């Protein structure tokens, strides 16, 4: 193993290469630009191709094309670019084409603040394209080291589920320098818990069976066997069809191949002080969870019965972690509250669900401790510049 | 050489998609046959070609007609998909994309321009039915000036890419395309010859092929769905490049042939990658 003091962008690049990614196409955007730069340096050294597209919509389509030809591909962007992925995301979902998409969140909406981290794409990663009738997989690391692992995992899942998988980070993860350990061989990869899955090959004409089965190879162009892939509702052989019954079958597969195989990623969460039925559960993902974990340690030291639950797989939403009726606090890098709405939905009826949001900077430990204390004493929360909603 | 449609169908096409759902009198089938005939005259095999299509009449009618591999992109994006596919495919495989005018010259123009810039080895056949006919008959960016459509009830008055001295071919030439030609559907063997040269060009090729739409365009502009009227109307406005005059809408023939003048995209990219891998630098 090799150790580096490097950025999350470096870690993600190395993770992608370890997972077998040999194609990257992107469009420069802060704070994902350095990831493209790292790919442009590293991929040719590994016999891979880096391309820069005319816009994000093209970038993801180019990646889809490479994947359609049998290469493991990845693209990376920030929120304003991720929204331009909406069109190709639908294509990749409908055609069941494996792909990894990294989103380094910044303050929005639109261009917002280029140089500050944000978590405004929680729902966008669940509904990254139009039309509905699909399920999405999103992983959210909270460190550079974990970003590497999550990218490897994203490639594993995207191959097995035959679909695009999003890794949702933020500027602190991609641009921040940290101590990073990179495995140098397969044994070391296994030791670090990395799973990989090879690209398999479906020449056609079969497109897919109408079932929730995994591990069905994606259609690949080039053999001349009659493989078909289109943006229309497909038949079992990939022909376009305008029949609702056929679409039911298609949608069943897009939704339930993910929902019925959640055992593959429902272990991806982190619990802290959750074994003794805490009076307050602090829910977070991404970089805020690092502050939350420290704050919860301090709270415990001060005698507060607080636990922390960090989500790594955001979608499908891990409802199973919200079975207990208690107080919940969602800590997010946004002002409007996104994760909190899902916690509210998943938690038992009449649970107290609270929200602490800020945008562009992390919450401070004193702020968090004050909030914990007030919630535990049933006192109302005070927020600067923002009035709390009912929850 | 003579080819009956049946011979070409048996050799290259899927009978499942024939007859197509095209409207009666649609000229797309003529264009489609021109392309397949060119492939046949070049003696290419089913597995030599990956057939890309897009949306609208052209995309929908030509998707999955090729016996070999085929894909359809969303609105205007097929060129970007083809660019990634080109990197992944062996260089001897050919990519032919049959698209519509809106897909190529409207929503997809930027992707088209960048594919031309990169000189990606693909052959784009733009089947131009003079507007958005599958959505009911709105004007497009090559709709002749003054034409009446559902969205130009007073006559098409916007500046477009086929009038006032402007021609989309100039844009594509400027962007770096290495083969450009235009033929109306009734150009016959002249069109076949151009498509053959386009397929053989190891780089970005585009053949613009206007064709008659009796159902929407003709019914609005000519007041009749009589196929003869629209076929004659197009023919009257098309002339070979060397005979074109001020009344010519479609100057036909080979517009630009720079075959071999620039490196092909995937060859160029893989060449660079292999060199960097071996020596650490370009």
**Closest Cα in chain A, distance from residue B57 (Å):** 14
Cβ-defined contact of B74 to A65 (cutoff 8 Å):
no
- Mean pLDDT over A270-288 rounds to 97
* Overall average pLDDT of the A259-284 stretch: 96
- Let me know: does B58 contact B130? Beta carbons within 8 Å: no
- pTM equals 0.97
A177-191, A319-333, B9-23: segment of lowest average pLDDT? B9-23
Q: Beta B49-53 vs B94-100: how paired, if at all?
A: parallel
Q: Is the Cα torsion angle B167, B169, B172, B174 positive or negative in sign?
A: negative
Minimal CA separation from B239 to chain A, in Å: 35
Please choose, from the candidates A148, A155, A138, the residue with its C-alpha nearest in 3D space to the C-alpha of residue A173.
Answer: A148
From the list A23, A49, A226, which residue is nearest B67 (CB)?
A: A226
At residue A391, the pLDDT reads 45
CA–CA min distance B172, chain A (Å): 16
Beta bridge partners of B204: B122
Mean pLDDT of chain A: 95
Judged on CB neighbours under 10 Å (0-12, 13-18, 19+), B6 is exposed
Question: In this predicted model, what pLDDT tens digit does every residue of B156-215 receive, in sequence order?
Answer: 999 999 999 899 999 999 999 999 999 999 999 999 999 999 999 999 999 999 999 999
Q: What is the mean pLDDT of residues A268-274?
A: 97
Tell me the β-bridge partners of B126.
Answer: B99, B208
Query: Which of A45, A67, A222 has its CB closest to that of B50?
Result: A222
The pair of three-digit structure tokens given for residue A113, joined into one six-digit string = 């603040």
CA-based nearest residue in chain B for residue A52: B114
CA closest to A204 among chain B residues: B69
Radius of gyration of chain B (CA): 19
Q: How far off is chain B from A56, nearest CA to CA, in Å?
A: 11
- Going by pLDDT thresholds of 50, 70 and 90, the confidence category of residue A210 is confident
Can you tell me whether residue B126 is helix, strand or coil? strand
What does the pLDDT read at residue A358?
Answer: 87
Chain B residue numbers with beta carbons less than 8 Å from the beta carbon of A240 are 60, 63-64, 72
Query: Among all residues of chain A, which has the CA nearest to that of B277?
Result: A45
Local structure of B25: helix, strand or coil: coil
> Are A268 and A289 a contacting pair, CB within 8 Å?
no
CA A248 to chain centre: 27
Residue B15 pLDDT level (bands cut at 50, 70, 90): confident
- Chain A residues whose beta carbon lies within 8 Å of the beta carbon of residue B89: 69, 221-222
What tens digit of pLDDT does each residue of B74-113 get?
999 999 999 999 999 999 999 999 999 999 999 999 999 9
A70 contacts in chain B (CB < 8 Å):
88
Interface size A-B, in CB pairs within 8 Å, comes to 152
Residues of chain B neighbouring A64 (CB-CB closer than 8 A): 81, 84
d(CA A92, CA A95): 5
Question: Considering CB atoms only, which of A68, A90, A222 is closest to B81?
Answer: A68
Give one word for A308, left, alpha or beta, with left for phi > 0 and alpha for psi -120 to 50. Answer: beta
**Does A384 have pLDDT greater than 90?**
no
Greater model confidence, A209 or A324 = A324
CA distances from B175 to A249, A267, A366, B168 (A): 44, 51, 58, 11
Q: Averaged over A24-28, what is the pLDDT?
A: 97
Put simply, the answer to whether B69 touches A204 (Cβ < 8 Å) is: yes
CA distances from residue A36 to A50, B52, B282 in whole angstroms, order as listed: 8, 28, 19
Mean pLDDT of A137-142: 98
Residues of B with Cβ-Cβ distance to A24 under 8 angstroms = none
CA torsion sign, B168 to B173 to B178 to B180?
Answer: positive
Subunit contact B80:A230, Cβ cutoff 8 A: no
Nearest to A65 among B64, B82, B114 (CB): B82
Query: A263 CA to chain B: closest CA distance, Å?
Result: 33
What is the model's pLDDT at position B2?
A: 58
- C-beta of residue B176 within 8 angstroms of C-beta of residue B262: yes
Average pLDDT over residues A290-297: 98
Q: Provide the pLDDT for residue A12.
A: 98
**Cβ-based contacts of B63 with chain A (< 8 Å):** 228, 230, 232, 240
Residue B5 confidence (pLDDT) above 90:
no
d(CA A388, CA B92): 63
């Amino acid at each position: 193993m090799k150790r580096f003091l490097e950025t999350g962008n470096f870690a993600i690049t190395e993770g992608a290469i370890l997972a077998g990614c040999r194609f990257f196409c992107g469009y420069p955007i802060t704070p994902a630009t350095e990831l493209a730069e790292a790919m442009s340096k590293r991929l040719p050294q590994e016999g891979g191709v880096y391309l820069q597209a005319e816009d994000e919509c093209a970038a993801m389509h180019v990646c889809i094309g490479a994947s359609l030809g049998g290469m493991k591909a990845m693209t990376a962007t920030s929120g304003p670019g991720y929204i331009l992925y909406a069109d190709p995301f639908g294509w990749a979902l409908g055609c069941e084409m494996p792909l990894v998409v990294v989103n380094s969140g910044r303050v929005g909406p639109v261009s917002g603040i280029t140089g500050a981290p944000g978590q405004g794409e929680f729902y966008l990663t669940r509904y990254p394209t139009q039309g509905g009738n699909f399920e999405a997989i999103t992983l959210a690391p909270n460190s550079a080291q974990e970003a590497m692992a999550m990218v490897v995992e994203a490639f594993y899942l995207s191959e097995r589920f035959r679909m695009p998988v999003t890794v949702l980070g933020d500027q602190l993860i991609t641009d921040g320098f940290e101590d990073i350990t990179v495995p140098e061989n397969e044994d070391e990869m296994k030791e670090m818990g990395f799973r990989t899955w090879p690209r398999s090959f479906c020449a056609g004409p079969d497109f897919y069976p109408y079932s929730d089965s995994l591990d069905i190879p994606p259609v690949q162009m080039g053999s001349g066997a009659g493989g078909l892939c289109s943006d229309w509702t497909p038949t079992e052989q990939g022909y376009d069809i305008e029949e609702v019954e056929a679409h039911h079958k298609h949608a069943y597969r897009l939704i339930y191949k993910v929902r019925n195989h959640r055992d593959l990623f429902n272990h991806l969460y982190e619990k802290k002080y959750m074994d003794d039925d805490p009076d307050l559960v602090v829910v977070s993902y991404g970089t805020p969870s690092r502050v939350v974990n420290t704050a919860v340690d301090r709270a415990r030291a001060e005698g507060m019965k607080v636990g922390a639950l960090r989500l790594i797989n955001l979608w499908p939403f891990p409802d199973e972690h919200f079975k207990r009726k208690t107080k919940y606090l969602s800590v997010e890098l946004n002002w409007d509250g996104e994760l909190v709405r899902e916690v509210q939905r998943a938690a038992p009826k009449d649970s107290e669900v609270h929200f602490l949001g800020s945008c562009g900077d992390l919450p401070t430990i004193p702020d968090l401790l004050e909030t914990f204390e007030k919630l535990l004493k049933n006192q109302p929360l005070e927020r600067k510049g923002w009035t709390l909603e009912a929850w | 050489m003579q080819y009956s449609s049946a011979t070409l169908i048996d050799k290259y096409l899927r009978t499942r998609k024939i007859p197509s759902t095209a409207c009666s009198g649609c000229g797309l089938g003529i264009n489609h046959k021109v392309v397949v005939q060119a492939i046949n005259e070049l003696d290419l095999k089913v597995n030599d070609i990956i057939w890309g299509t897009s949306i609208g009449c052209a995309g929908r009618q030509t998707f999955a007609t090729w016996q070999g591999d085929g894909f359809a992109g969303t609105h205007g994006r097929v060129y970007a998909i083809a660019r990634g596919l080109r990197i992944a495919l062996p260089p001897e495989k050919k990519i032919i994309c049959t698209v519509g005018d809106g897909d190529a010259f409207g929503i997809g123009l930027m992707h088209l321009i960048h594919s031309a810039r990169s000189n990606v080895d693909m052959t784009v056949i733009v089947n131009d039915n003079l507007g958005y006919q599958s959505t009911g008959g709105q004007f497009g960016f090559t709709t002749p000036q003054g034409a009446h459509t559902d969205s130009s009830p007073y006559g098409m008055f916007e500046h477009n890419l086929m009038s006032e001295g402007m021609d989309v071919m100039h844009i594509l030439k400027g962007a770096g395309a290495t083969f450009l030609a235009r033929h109306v559907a009734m150009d016959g063997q002249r069109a076949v010859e151009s498509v053959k040269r386009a397929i053989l060009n190891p780089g970005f090729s585009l053949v613009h092929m206007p064709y008659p739409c009796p159902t929407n365009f003709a019914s609005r502009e000519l007041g009749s769905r009589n196929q003869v009227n629209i076929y004659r109307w197009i023919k009257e406005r098309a002339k070979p490049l060397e005979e074109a005059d001020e009344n010519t809408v479609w100057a036909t023939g080979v517009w630009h042939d720079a075959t071999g003048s620039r490196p092909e995209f995937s060859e160029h990219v893989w060449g660079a990658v292999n060199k960097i891998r071996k020596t650490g630098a370009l």
